[in-house]
Each structure stands twice: as structure tokens, then as C-alpha cells.
Amino acid sequence: MKCFKILITLMLATSSGGIALPQKPNILLLCVDDLRPELNCFDVPYVHSPNIDRLAAEGRAFLRHYVNAPSCGPSRYTMLTGRFGPVGNRALFERAQKMRTHPEAVFPSMPEWFRSHGYVTVSVGKVSHHPGGWGGEGWNDNTVVEMPQAWSRPLMPTGAWQTPRGAMHGAAHGFHLSDPGGRRVFESAKGDDSIYPDGLITDEALTQLGELTEDDAPFFLAVGLIKPYLPFAAPEKYYELYEGVELPPIPYPTKPAERTTWFNSGEFMKYNRRGKDPRTNAEFAAEVRRHYLACVSYADTQVGRILKKLKETGADKNTLIVLWGDHGWHLGEHAVWGKHTLFEESLRSPLVIQYPSIAAPGEKTEAMVQTVDIFPTLCALSGIPIPDFTQGISLQPILDDPRGNGHPAVAYLGEATTLRTATHRLVLHQDGYVELYDHTSPEKETRNVADAHPGIVRKMKASLEKQLNRYGSGSTDFI
């Protein structure tokens, strides 16, 4: 009997024929745009995030998770392919083009891999760079697909915003960036959750959960919430949570004097700020931060609605849940209001993984991990083969023991690459210029100590090169 059980386990682990096996767990992937690790469960007590907190209390919060790129498109590329990739926001569209011209040179995406192993794969909202995963002027041309062969059905409700592009930059009641009334950098309008696009995305996610859980096949449901992406706009009740809350001072709020990957906050500055600049106006900066937090709490409520529906269906007893922030966001640190840097604030984001049999539920981990690890982790937990083309490492050992070891994290921009270890951050520019920051010192990423520590620089440069090339020269998609 024991041998028979082992044989069955091996058959399940190596199955590739697309047959639905009830033993396979469902997967619920929750992607949240521009989400800093600024949650109550990530030790930030003034943030109202009860639903994500509850998920973390039942699973594992990765306190030191780092994305591989500080922009939506390339970060989602690494999550959805398990590989380092192109640096621009059209990274997945570039991959789609390559699939058309050189299909033999493109590896399957994560949803495509799970689909080939018997899963029904559904995306709702912003999972790839474009909500819904289509191209064209309004991002609604279904002949221009961002992720061919990935989804059984890709969905993006648009409501009053009419197009995915309008919803992506949505203000209340159908206004968006193209309309004069939609250009405000923040707002808190009266109304229920559906006055902003994430309410509609969540409604559709609930519908899909109801349908998917009635099927015998395992499902891979990915839901992408837009907030707290700009504009920082959420129903008024969420802003009220932060009225009168005293926020801590912005750490190191001045622009670096030395050369860095500093970014001029162009995306933020194009919005209507009523002539105010948070870099010079502390009161306005506090208002921006409160509106950002209101968006976090709004997104948290949507997460709660989805988790509640999952439990109501009974599918929570056989579902792996991943909550992932696609990158961080500066709220004034280094005088940046945005992302697109290789500083800690752009690269560190929340990651929470939960499933019924997880060991030591609720225990957080300080192990350092990166986004590219998600694909092999979900394979390992689902009992399907980990493809040899993925460039991450399964996090199952840390899920089995929160004291398990992590590993250095890589990230990149067009002009520079970085390696984060437990103690230091190295930033290597294309022209050879080096930044080295000591995270054991009070100065952290405000003082470049590269000249004082040539040995550490040499060691970290070698480690960075090894990480990028460990699958063979030229195998990383962005090199």
C-alpha cells in the first residue's frame, strides 16, 4: 500500500496531459499595484488593513520580499514568467511578439504552464501590465494580446470608464486622466466601492469564483487590483480612517547629493496638485500620504471580499493564496514621489502566501526572497513539475520553516542593476559606476561607501554576475 501511494504521488507530480485531478490545489493570486510594505501585518501599526492582516495571520508574510524591477510591466513579467526580462513596460508585449516570430525561443508563462497541467486559468483586472491583457489605443483591442496562450479567459470590467486604459487611471464615476475632472492627484468621493474601478474588478472576481468552484477542474484565478496606483482616489469612508492620524516623519526626505538612480517623479507631477509640491510643502505631503493609505485600505477591503467568497464556496480548504505587491512606491524618501529607482522603497513590496496545511501559520519570515521565486514555489506546492527554465528558487522550505534561509535579490533598470543582501545593497551602473550601501549603519541608502569597501564591492559584483548568468550565457531575457 505504501508503495502504491508513492507511485500515485509521483504520477501526480509528473502529470503534463492537462487532465483535471481533484488532488491539485486551486490557486488564487492577488496582485496589488504600487503597494508598499506599509500594512499592519508588516509592522506598520497606523495602517488599517484587517483583511490582509488576517491572511498573514493564517499564512506566511515575507517581510523581506523584493521585486526584480521597479516598474509595473517588467515586474509583472518576472512574476508571470519566472524569468528576468526586458526593462520596459511593454516587456510582455515584446515577449508576445517574439512568440509570433520565434516561438521556439519563448518559454511558457506561469498561467500557460498551469493550464497545460489541467488548470482553468482566469485573469480579472490588472494582472499583466494592461488591465485585461490587451493592446490598442484604449487597451481594448483583443487582437493584440499581451500574454498569448496564458488565460482560459482574460477579463476586465470597465463600467463608466469605458476602456481598460480609462479604468487604469480612474477617478470616481467614470472620470480618468484624459478628462479635466480626472486629473486630480487625490480625491475621496462619496459613494460605495463601485464608484472606482476596483469595485467592479472585485465584483467580477466574485462571479468567476462562483463559476470556477462549480467546476471539477482546479483553477488558477489571478485578480489584479489597481489601487493604490495614481490617482490616490478612494471612497470617502477610507480616507476618514486616517483623518487626524499622526504620520511619522518621512525618512531622508532630501534629494541625494551623489549619483544614484534618483527619479524626478514625472508620473506624479503630471497630475493636478493645485500648484503644490510635496517636496517643499509638508502639509500637502501629509495629505498625499493619507490619500495613499486610504487607497491601501480600499484595496484591502476588496481582498477581504474575495477571500470571504472563497470561504463561502468551501474552496478555501484546497486553495493556495498568494498576495503580491508589484513593487514599492516612494512617499517622499530621497525626495522621490513614485517608483522607478533602485532604492529600497521602490523594490521592497508585500508578499503573503497562505494555504491550509502551512506550517507555523502566522509566523513571519525575515528570509530574503524575490518575485521570480513565485512561479517555482507554486509549482512545488501544487505538485506539478518545476520547469527548468525558471530562474527563481522554490520558497517551500521557508513555508515549512519561517526560520529558513533566503537568498540575495536582483533588480534592474535600463541603466543599472542591483543586488540586495542581508547587509548591503550594490548598484552597478552600465558605465561601471558603483553604489554600495550598508544597511547595518544608520545612514543605510543615503551614503555611498563603495570607495571604502572595495572587497565587498568585488564580492557582490561577482555574486550579481553569477545570479544573472547561472542559467548560461544569454539565457536571461534582458541581457
The pLDDT tens digits for 135-182 are 999 999 999 999 999 999 999 999 999 999 999 999 999 998 877 777
In a domain, 20, yes or no: no
In a domain, 18, yes or no: no
Average pLDDT, the chain: 92
Q: What is the CATH number of the domain that holds 389?
A: 3.40.720.10
- Of 410, 434, 453, the residue that ends a domain is 410
Task: Give CA–CA dist 405/421, Å, rounded.
Answer: 12
In a domain, 238, yes or no: yes
- Residues 424, 398, single domain; the answer is no
Model pTM score: 0.93
Check residue 300 and give its pLDDT: 98
Helices and strands of the chain, counted as H and E runs: 14, 18
Q: Cis omega (within 30 of 0) on the bond before 157? A: no
Pull the grid cell for residue 112: 500557460
- Residues 58, 41, single domain; the answer is yes
8 Å CB contact between 70 and 341: yes
**Nearest Cα to Cα of residue 66 among 439, 321, 332:** 439
Place of cell 550594490: 426
pLDDT class of 478 with cuts at 50, 70, 90 = very low
Tell me the average pLDDT across 53-68: 98
- Residues 82, 214, single domain; the answer is yes
In a domain, 11, yes or no: no
8 Å CB contact between 450 and 460: no
8 Å CB contact between 389 and 107: yes
| Neighbour-count burial for 399-432, b at 16+ CB within 10 Å, e otherwise | beebeeebbbbbbbbeebbbbbbeebbbbbbeee
pLDDT class of 23 with cuts at 50, 70, 90 = confident
In a domain, 9, yes or no: no
> What single letter denotes the amino acid at residue 440?
T
Task: Give CA–CA dist 326/323, Å, rounded.
Answer: 10
Tell me the average pLDDT across 254-281: 96
Which domain does 445 fall in, by range? 415-472
**Number of neighbouring beta carbons within 10 Å of residue 171:** 23
Q: Is 379 a catalytic residue?
A: no
Check residue 180 and give its pLDDT: 72
In a domain, 100, yes or no: yes
Cα dihedral angle (142, 148, 151, 155), rounded to 10 degrees? -20
- Of 410, 436, 461, the residue that ends a domain is 410
Of 48, 129, 176, 291, which residue is the catalytic one? 129
Task: Give CA–CA dist 415/58, Å, rounded.
Answer: 40
- Residues 359, 465, single domain; the answer is no
Residues 6+ apart with CB under 8 A from 183: 177, 231, 271, 272
- Residues 385, 419, single domain; the answer is no
- Residues 266, 297, single domain; the answer is yes
Residues 6+ apart with CB under 8 A from 397: 404, 405
Task: Give CA–CA dist 8/285, Å, rounded.
Answer: 59
Q: How many domains does the chain fold into?
A: 2
8 Å CB contact between 97 and 145: no
**Number of neighbouring beta carbons within 10 Å of residue 239:** 23
- Residues 397, 339, single domain; the answer is yes
pLDDT class of 14 with cuts at 50, 70, 90 = very low
Report whether pLDDT(2) > 80: no
In a domain, 21, yes or no: no
| Neighbour-count burial for 325-344, b at 16+ CB within 10 Å, e otherwise | bbbbbbbbbbbbbbbbbbbb
8 Å CB contact between 436 and 453: yes
Tell me the average pLDDT across 414-441: 97
pLDDT class of 469 with cuts at 50, 70, 90 = confident
Of 31, 41, 72, 295, which residue is the catalytic one? 72
Report whether pLDDT(196) > 50: yes
Report whether pLDDT(226) > 90: yes
**Number of neighbouring beta carbons within 10 Å of residue 448:** 20
Q: What is the DSSP secondary structure assignment for residue 444, as one 8-state letter?
A: B
- Residues 348, 281, single domain; the answer is yes
- Residues 304, 422, single domain; the answer is no
- Residues 40, 143, single domain; the answer is yes
Check residue 477 and give its pLDDT: 52
8 Å CB contact between 396 and 415: no
**Nearest Cα to Cα of residue 353 among 365, 345, 342:** 365
CA–CA distance from 376 to each of 83, 133, 364, 370 (Å)?
Answer: 10, 23, 20, 12
pLDDT digit string, tens, across residues 385-414 = 999 999 999 999 999 999 999 999 999 999
- Of 388, 410, 432, the residue that ends a domain is 410
pLDDT class of 463 with cuts at 50, 70, 90 = very high
Q: Is 176 a catalytic residue?
A: no
Task: Give CA–CA dist 297/301, Å, rounded.
Answer: 6
Task: Give CA–CA dist 52/34, Å, rounded.
Answer: 15
Q: What are phi and psi of 408, to 5 degrees?
A: -60, 155
In a domain, 454, yes or no: yes
- Residues 353, 459, single domain; the answer is no
pLDDT class of 47 with cuts at 50, 70, 90 = very high
- Residues 395, 424, single domain; the answer is no
